[in-house]
A and B are shown apart, each in its own frame.
Chain A
Amino acid sequence: MSEDHEIEETETGTLPLDAWHRGKGGRMVEFAGYWMPIQYEGIVAEHEWTRTNAGLFDVSHMGQLMVTGEKAAEELEKLLPGAISTLKPGRVRYSLLLSEEGGILDDLMVTNATPWIEGDEEAGTEGHWGEPAYYVVVNGAMKWDDIAHLREFLDDEVTLTHMDEHALVALQGPNAATALNRVMRGVPEQLVFMQSMEFQFGEWPLRITRAGYTGEDGFEISVPAEYAEALCDRLCAEIEVRPAGLGARDSLRLEAGLPLYGHDMTDAVDPVSADLAFALTKKRRETGGWMGFEAVSAVLESGPKERRVGLAIEGRMPAREGAEIFAGERRVGRVTSGGFSPTLGRPIAMGYVATEHAAEGTELEIAVRNKRLPAKVVSLPFVPHNYYRGS
């Protein structure tokens, strides 16, 4: 492992697009140790714009890591419950970092970013895949812990690079592809949901991934920090694109049923209870060899005691994180994310409910202040996903 100096976060940091946000009228708040825009013109307006056109989100607080080396895949497989060695170049997978106890340390996206090396006729070499490389994007608030965890457990022959001189922006919405195609002609058609590519845009080396955290079609673009402002200006020059802040990002992901680390999952929750068993690749559930395997297998065997569910709430009063969920007089769960759905025009929530009360359609109550709000267990997402999986 290459050694980096220890960084102790004390003051609120600024990210490459800080001045750009302020220039656009972004209201800056402290988030994950950085100043980030919570909103520009308003959360609901940005939310609705993203659902109908395209919102541009700065997610540069997230940790962008590159894991390289001949043994990179097998080393990552010691820590991730997903299949990495069979992940083809250019493919993206959602995965989890787990503790020995099976708790979720973080959730992440891992991309096989192994480069294709062109052949050289004069030198007599053929085209071939270069050194295996995996691009990993982790949560901003967890990245320092994640880096420490990876450094501790990955073999020394594997190199972990923190790409802290890169910004990350997400262009999200039904018109994201149309807008991106006008700026970078031909790029969107080369990708479907959960695919990723390097793209040389003039002098800018970009990594473009068709994924996101809104439930919409869209792209995440990793860009060297010095070009981030110019890239955002280029994208926002398109009529479909407007900047959107963390507030809209949160309400969009809640509607899309996507869990948020530190709220809807923590190190006290296993992936089965968190309804993230899809991240446990079938084959690897049998073969094991990943941290947390025994603990998670036990839950798979016995079934989870509680489960993350969606909750549709009657009336207009939202239930927030921490609100207790009742079946009659019995407390059976708690809300972990809750708010108002601009798309549906009513409150929605996610929470953990004892398995015997977690079936779809179960009628429950949520305690908010001195009231009991009628709520029903519903399937997630609240608003259908609109991913592009090819025509």
Chain B
Amino acid sequence: MARYFTDEHEWIDVEGDTATVGITDYAQGQLGDIVFVELPEVGSVIDKGKDAAVVESVKAASDVYAPISGEIMETNEALEDDPALVNTSPEEDGWFFKMTIGDKGELEGLMDDKAYKSFCDSL
């Protein structure tokens, strides 16, 4: 399994033709206490860069964009009852959704762990 990162602070775990998407620890730290996550409809098809989810912190709402194009297969129902999972376990239990990978070429140009770390350090 390979993990990729975007400059919008999302992580993408790729396993075969499926990608699991969430936001990074850096992102949750910036957003602060998360009180609600609006997830996409299962079955919806979203293009890369389009709105996929909304994260509501106490203070504000932030959009999460689809890191790649594909169809939403599953969303993390645990976030409905416990949105703070995004704060406590952003890169594991606090995942957002699983999607098909429409175009593997879109994974090119995403960052690996090391590149993402130095990207965050540069901010």
Q: Interface on A for B, CB 8 Å cutoff?
A: 38-39, 42-45, 47, 247, 250-251, 316-318, 320, 339-340, 342, 347, 369
Contacts and interface: CB of A to CB of B under 8 A. Distances in A.
B58 A339 contact: yes
Contact of B35 (A39, A247, A318): A318
Contacts of B56: 317-318, 340
Contact of A316 (B33, B36, B57, B59): B36
A317 B59 contact: no
Contacts of A316: 35-36, 80, 83
B96 to A, nearest CB: 16
A247 B36 contact: no
A342 B36 contact: no
Contacts of A39: 32
A199 to B, nearest CB: 35
Interface in B30-65: 32-33, 35-36, 38, 54, 56-61
Nearest to A345: B35
30 contacts: A38-B59, A39-B32, A43-B33, A43-B57, A43-B58, A43-B59, A44-B32, A44-B33, A247-B58, A250-B59, A251-B58, A251-B59, A316-B35, A316-B36, A316-B83, A317-B36, A317-B38, A317-B56, A318-B36, A318-B56, A318-B61, A320-B61, A339-B58, A340-B35, A340-B36, A340-B56, A340-B58, A347-B35, A347-B36, A369-B54
Given A43-B33, A247-B32, A316-B36, 11 more contacts: A42-B32, A44-B58, A247-B58, A250-B59, A251-B58, A316-B80, A339-B59, A340-B58, A342-B33, A342-B58, A369-B54
A108 to B, nearest CB: 25
Contacts of B60: 320
Contacts of B83: 316
A369 B54 CA distance: 10
A88 to B, nearest CB: 40
Interface of B: 32-33, 35-36, 38, 54, 56-61, 80, 83
Contacts of A251: 58-59
Contacts of A47: 58
Nearest to B87: A42
A316 B39 CA distance: 13
Contacts of A38: 59
A347 B59 CA distance: 11
Contacts of A320: 60-61
Contacts of A342: 33, 58
Nearest to A250: B59
Which are the 3 A-B pairs with shortest beta-carbon distances? Answer: A340-B35, A44-B33, A43-B58
Contacts of B33: 42-45, 342
Contacts of B59: 38, 43, 247, 250-251, 339
Nearest to B83: A316
A43 B59 CA distance: 8
Q: Which of A39, A47, A340, A369 has the most CB of B within 10 A?
A: A340
A39 B56 CA distance: 17
Most A-side CB within 10 Å, residue of B58, B60, B61: B58
A282 to B, nearest CB: 38
Contacts of B38: 317, 369
A43 B36 contact: no
A248 B115 CA distance: 35
Contacts of B57: 43
B34 to A, nearest CB: 10
A317 B56 CA distance: 8
